[in-house]
Amino acid sequence: MLREPGGSWWVVAIGPVLIVATLVMEILGKGRIHWEVLTIFGVVLVGFSLLQVVAARQHVSMHLTETTLREGTETIDIADIVKIFPENNGVEPQDWESAPALGELHAVPRRRKGIGLRLADGRLVQAWARDVDRLRTELTEAHLAVKMGLPPKGNR
Give residues with Cβ within 8 angstroms of 62, minimum separation 6.
2, 3, 4, 6, 69, 70, 71, 72, 127, 128, 129, 135
| 36 pLDDT higher than 90 | yes
Q: Give Cα 55 to chain centroid, integer Å.
A: 10
Helix, strand or coil, per DSSP, at residue 92: coil
pLDDT tens for each residue of 68-102:
999 999 999 999 999 999 999 999 999 999 999 99
Q: Looking at residue 154, what is its pLDDT?
A: 66
Give the three-state DSSP class for 93. Answer: coil
- β-pair partners for 125: 117
> pTM value?
0.82
Give 50-72 pLDDT, tens digit per residue: 999 999 999 999 999 999 999 99
Please enumerate, as own/partner, the contacts of 34-43 that have beta carbons within 8 Å and a separation of 24 or more: 41/15, 42/15, 42/16
